[in-house]
């Protein structure tokens, strides 16, 4: 490698609709009361569990979430539907996720002072894609007029950081001149809005980043990728089982076990120490400590998880300036959370400042990037 690899631009696109905790709880509680009334005999007989009620205060205390963006709000708060009403588009039309991706991509290209001619690889990496093929990345590549190639990646909540790893490696190897990494997180169709413990967790968003050689970067805010680190360890504690094989299994493809579900306490107990070790080892590789890091752009799943991880790393509570929290407004946006935090909180850093992007999620999977402001 003759030149350092940099992140030269980021883009953040918010859907036009948002749902507050209060709105979500009002709809869920009305659904739960209706469910309990309709199934009173079975609940009394003990063959069916009653739906517990929720509260906005419970959600905020459990997660730190106050609201979330939603690609299509219609249908989510309808107690006789409890899922977004997203009209199917004809095959010749731009797909929903490609449209989200293009919004974020254009913002990232503008921030990086780049055009389609400067990019030769497009990676669309997220927790869910709305179809198997053709790849969303190739659809986005075509819509933006980019020459080269594109591909999709699915690594759950570490999809964005893992894709940035691939971009870093391609630029380092000289197999690409400019890589556009996009994370169109359309999570709402996989949310079980009928489940008190998970109906509030996710939000929709799209993020993007441009990765290139330092000698071609011309934007105002450029961050050198010092190094990357990734680890995976199999766990069943976070699952989303929806897939085409359900058709052959002769089961309900939209049953609760096919949507997002998790063993939240187990995830918290197992992922937090795993993330602390991962980050500490990454910094130690460069003879750095947590005190050397100016900004922590951590995965945005749960405020209590972020607080514990940062406290273990720093030996004290992190300030919001050190470790920004965005999940109060965005909720858990799967792989996009740390990229949102970066997009909103990077321009104030000074040349030479270190920052660390880190995601952790299903798999388990953890991906981190140590970066330095140019």
CA dist list (Å): 289 to 20, 279, 328, 341: 38, 10, 28, 21
DSSP character at residue 86: -
CA distance 2 to 110: 26
Active site residue 157: yes
Catalytic residue among 70, 157, 272, 358: 157
Q: Is 44 left (phi over 0), alpha (psi -120 to 50) or beta?
A: alpha
Residue with token string 């749960």: 302
Alpha-carbon dihedral 299, 285, 8, 135, rounded to 10 degrees: -60
Helix (H, G, I), strand (E, B) or coil at 149: strand
Instruction: DSSP for 209-249, please give it.
Output: EEEEEGGG--SSS-EEEEEEEEEE---SSEE---STTHHHH
| φ/ψ of residue 140, rounded to 5 | -65, -45
Helix (H, G, I), strand (E, B) or coil at 370: strand
Catalytic site residues? 157
């Amino acid at each position: 490698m003759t030149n350092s690899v940099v992140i030269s631009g980021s883009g953040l696109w918010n859907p036009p609709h948002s749902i507050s905790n209060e709105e979500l709880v009002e709809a869920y509680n009305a659904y739960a009361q209706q469910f309990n009334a309709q199934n009173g005999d079975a609940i009394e007989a003990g063959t069916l569990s009653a739906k517990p009620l929720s509260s906005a205060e419970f959600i905020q205390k459990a997660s730190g979430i106050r609201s979330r963006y939603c690609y299509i709000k219609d249908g989510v708060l309808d107690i006789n539907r409890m899922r977004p009403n997203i009209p199917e588009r004809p095959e010749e039309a731009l797909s929903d996720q490609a449209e989200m991706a293009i919004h974020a991509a254009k913002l990232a290209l503008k921030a990086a002072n780049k055009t389609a001619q400067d990019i030769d690889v497009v990676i669309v990496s997220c927790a869910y894609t709305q179809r198997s093929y053709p790849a969303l990345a190739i659809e986005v590549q075509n819509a933006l007029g980019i020459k080269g190639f594109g591909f999709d990646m699915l690594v759950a909540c570490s999809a964005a950081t893992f894709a940035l790893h691939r971009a870093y490696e391609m630029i380092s190897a000289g197999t690409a001149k400019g890589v556009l990494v996009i994370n169109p997180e359309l999570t709402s169709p996989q949310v079980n809005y009928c489940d008190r413990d998970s109906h509030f967790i996710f939000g929709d968003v799209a993020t993007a980043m441009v990765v290139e050689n330092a000698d071609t970067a011309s934007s105002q805010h450029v961050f050198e990728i010092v190094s990357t680190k990734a680890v995976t360890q199999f766990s069943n504690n976070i699952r989303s089982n929806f897939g085409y094989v359900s058709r052959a299994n002769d089961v309900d493809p939209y049953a609760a076990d096919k949507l997002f579900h998790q063993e939240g306490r187990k995830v918290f107990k197992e992922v937090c120490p795993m993330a602390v070790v991962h980050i500490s080892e990454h910094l130690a590789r460069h003879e750095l400590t947590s005190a050397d890091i100016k900004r922590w752009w951590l995965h945005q799943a749960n405020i209590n998880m972020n607080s514990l991880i940062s406290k273990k790393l720093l030996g004290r509570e992190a300030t919001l300036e050190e470790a920004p929290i965005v999940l109060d407004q965005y909720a858990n946006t799967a792989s996009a959370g740390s990229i949102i935090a970066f997009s909103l909180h990077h321009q104030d850093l000074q040349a030479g400042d270190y920052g660390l992007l880190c995601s952790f999620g299903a798999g388990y999977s953890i991906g981190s990037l140590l970066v330095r402001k140019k």
